[in-house]
Chain A
Amino acid sequence: MEEIAMEDTHSHGHQIDPKVEYSAAKFGMWLFLGTEILLFGGLFAAYAIFRAKYAELFHEQHKELDVTLGAINTVVLIFSSLTMAMGVSAIQRGKRNLLSILLVITILCGIAFGVNKYFEYGAKFEHHLTPGTSIFFALYFMMTGLHMLHVFAGITILTVLLVLNLKGKFSANYNTPIEVGGLYWHLVDLIWIYLFPLLYLIS
């Protein structure tokens, strides 16, 4: 194997070519999203099996869930995905302030989702519907609860990105974390897109 001078900088520090860094970060996030899907996968598998086994129970008990609240949360989350996607485009065009505004809206949507969920859970507990009530409610609480944790994680990530953006870290030339963080936020939306019909709309 020949060794030929390739790089001028060979001192300390592992400067990776920014293009490689961008592509690696994005690819890394896609891999991570795959693991998230499989983390939820166990719950989806359990859902499929128990729903087939206890179709009646699922139909009866799903009536306890509030379709309106679920639908509102769906709209909220999809809207937040829209603002997130527009935020990525904004910073790619160098519009830093627009990104800040869009990030704030996205974060607020996430919080609204959480508040909504808080009231929903509260109402369930009032009616003594807990994870131990039945297989259906166990699934309901596990699936929405794990999803909620991801919403919180997403809000945290977006808040950090917002702070960094306000400090002027991102530009048209460097915005990898925004795009990668955005991918994570969209995953939260993706999973909810399945949870909504599976839990709230059983006919």
Chain B
Amino acid sequence: MATKTHSEEHHHDHEEPHIVGNSVYIIVWVALMILTGITVWVARHNFGVFNIVVALGIASIKASIVALFFMHLKYEDKLTWTFALYPLFLLALLIGLTASDVFYRLSP
């Protein structure tokens, strides 16, 4: 989670921009490349239902890495975290509750 947290009531001491070293970025990039390679490799083999699980799992890891480091989410306050995660929750709701209609409709 965020390394720096700011209490809501003290919104006037704002954070300085956090400068991340290029070495961190290079490591992150290498990791992203390796993960991309793994995704492509996995897709060429049949693991049944695990294919989609692995594909989405890896995509989520990659997305998290991009958000945490490239987008500096790691260094953001709780407020930013809240508004970064809440849309994902709503997305899950949209997919989940719509599916609860569509799939129970198809196979009662």
Q: Which residues of A contact B (CB under 8 A)?
A: 19-20, 22-23, 26-27, 30-31, 33-35, 37-38, 41-42, 44-45, 48-49, 52-53, 67, 71, 74-75, 78-79, 81-82, 84-86, 89, 92-93, 175, 179, 182-183, 186, 189-190, 193-194, 196-198, 201-203
Contacts and interface: CB of A to CB of B under 8 A. Distances in A.
B2 interface: no
A179 B80 contact: no
Tell me whether chain A's interface is mostly helix, strand or loop, or mixed: helix
Contact of B70 (A20, A41, A75, A186): A186
B14 A19 contact: yes
Given A53-B102, A84-B70, A190-B66, A30 B15 contact: no
A30 B98 contact: no
A92 B94 contact: no
Interface of B: 12, 14-15, 17, 19-22, 25-26, 28-29, 32-33, 36, 39-40, 42-47, 51, 55-56, 58-59, 62-63, 66-67, 69-72, 76, 79-80, 83-84, 86-88, 90-91, 94-95, 98-99, 102-103, 106
A27 B66 contact: no
Given A82-B70, A203-B51, A197 B98 contact: no
B99 to A, nearest CB: 6
24 contacts: A20-B14, A22-B14, A37-B88, A41-B95, A44-B95, A45-B95, A49-B98, A49-B102, A75-B33, A78-B32, A81-B66, A82-B25, A86-B22, A92-B17, A93-B19, A175-B17, A186-B66, A193-B63, A194-B56, A197-B43, A197-B56, A197-B59, A198-B56, A203-B44
Contacts of A75: 33, 36
A53 to B, nearest CB: 7
Contacts of A186: 66-67, 70-71
B87 A35 contact: yes
Contacts of A86: 22, 25
Contacts of A201: 39-40, 42-43, 55
A67 to B, nearest CB: 7
Contact of A22 (B17, B22, B72): B17
